Homo-oligomer: A and B are copies of this chain.
Amino acid sequence: MKALVGAVLIGQSGGPTSVINASALGCIETAMASANVTKVYGAAHGIKGVLNDEIYDLTQEDPAELSLMRYTPSSVLGSCRYKLADFMVDDTDYKRILDIFKKYDIRYFFYIGGNDSMDTSSKISSYLSQHDYECRVIGIPKTIDNDLAATDHCPGYGSAAKYIATTFMEVSRDAKVYDRGSITVIEVMGRNAGWLTAASALAGIRYKDHGPDLVYLPEVPFDMSNFLSDVSRVYEEQGDVLVAVSEGIKDKNGTYIVSYFSDQTKEKDAFGHAKMGGLAANLAEYANAKLKAKVRGIELSLLQRCAAHLASATDVEEAYLAGKAAFEAAESGITDKMITFEREPGEIYKCKTGLVDLVEVANAEKKVPREWINDAGNGVLQPFIDYALPLINGEVDRPTENGLPRFARLKRVKAGSAE
């Protein structure tokens, strides 16, 4: 195959994770070392940066500062939640993208994100190819939600899971410190898939009382009266209850439980996803109606997706590897694929990267298998623990300064200004 010479463009999209910058770094450093690469650009705020011609020239950055991206949470290039139209219906954005790609001679495009981002990548790839513009497009998976199809797991999940499990262990010590009974409900992210909420169960693997007593995932219809009897039973048995609940739990009719307490599900984001919040405190109060315990609702909120100080070393390394593998695949002639992780069989955890068609990932959603959840729908089983535990392993040796993290600070030189 003839080598494709040209510029590289990297974009970051969707919700932040602790390791999305590690993936970008893996791709950037590998690309910069290649003789086929003329320039390495970053798009400001994902595809919106392409549409707005806000492109950073990453070759102008100090390599030492760039390397700090490995331990810097959230997207250093900026992110977006922008949905491209179908180009058969409206090709305005696509024409603009093609123009910008031509302007900077972009021949390699890498988009780091979740299923919506893979949808975007797939559409751009199709459009460019239909207009005979040679550009290799590779998606790099990223989501704390761990809900992408065709991959064992997603970079970002391991670090969020580690933060959640550690936080449950710590809060369990706090919530049980008084001799007066307590009911603590902790709300975890995850609209439709319960991977993050399930990770709370990792807290109890050594000592049961370090973890949640009850775990409710969106995969199982939530029933208020079952919840009440679950909490009452545990409270009766041990005098305190620690509950993990997904923000996205729904009843058997598909109605979000949070909407029982408010009308905030009416507000939706650009992708039509309902916005969430306020569930934990309300459920805790509800459970306590007859128990008269000390009650607390805690929402982990943004902390669970940006706590890079507690990133999983395994996750950071795999995220970097995904970015590196993406460039290597593209350079070898592959396009229109997303990097995946394939777990090798055996006792000792080992993963290698693979490839899957973008369209296969776009808009699909992988949920926690029902057989990994107990019959009562209030806890997870050993196969989930065996799956998730290796992903949170290892502590990062992150740079600090004055006892605080030292994050990457890019100069963000506009590509235009450098020409």
Binding site for B on A (CB under 8 A): 16, 44-45, 48, 72-75, 78-81, 162, 165-167, 169-171, 173-179, 184, 202-203, 205-207, 210, 277-278, 281, 296, 298-299, 301-303, 305-310, 312, 314, 389, 392-395, 400-407, 409
Contact = CB atoms under 8 A, between A and B. Distances in A.
A78 B301 contact: no
B173 A306 contact: yes
A403 to B, nearest CB: 4
A303 B171 contact: yes
Contact of A74 (B81, B177, B302): B177
B296 A301 contact: yes
Contact of A170 (B162, B167, B179, B303): B303
B404 A202 contact: yes
Given A73-B173, A389-B403, A405-B166, A78 B281 contact: no
B48 A16 contact: no
A48 B171 contact: no
Contacts of A406: 206
Contact of A203 (B177, B281, B301, B404): B404
B296 A298 contact: no
B302 A171 contact: yes
A211 to B, nearest CB: 10
A400 B395 contact: yes
Given A169-B405, A173-B74, A401-B206, A80 B310 contact: no
Contacts of A402: 205, 389, 392-393
A293 B21 CA distance: 26
Nearest to A169: B405
Nearest to A48: B179
Nearest to A171: B302
Nearest to A202: B404
B404 A165 contact: yes
A378 to B, nearest CB: 22
Contacts of A389: 402-403
Contacts of A45: 178-179
Given A203-B404, A206-B401, 8 more contacts: A16-B177, A74-B176, A169-B405, A205-B402, A278-B281, A298-B303, A389-B402, A393-B402
Given A170-B73, A179-B45, A392 B404 contact: yes
25 contacts: A16-B177, A45-B179, A72-B173, A74-B177, A75-B177, A78-B177, A79-B177, A162-B404, A165-B404, A166-B404, A170-B308, A171-B302, A173-B407, A184-B302, A202-B404, A206-B401, A207-B409, A296-B302, A298-B299, A299-B301, A309-B310, A314-B403, A393-B403, A395-B400, A395-B403
B179 A306 contact: no
A74 B242 CA distance: 16
A407 to B, nearest CB: 7
Interface centre among A308, A403, A404, A405 (most CB of B within 10 A): A403
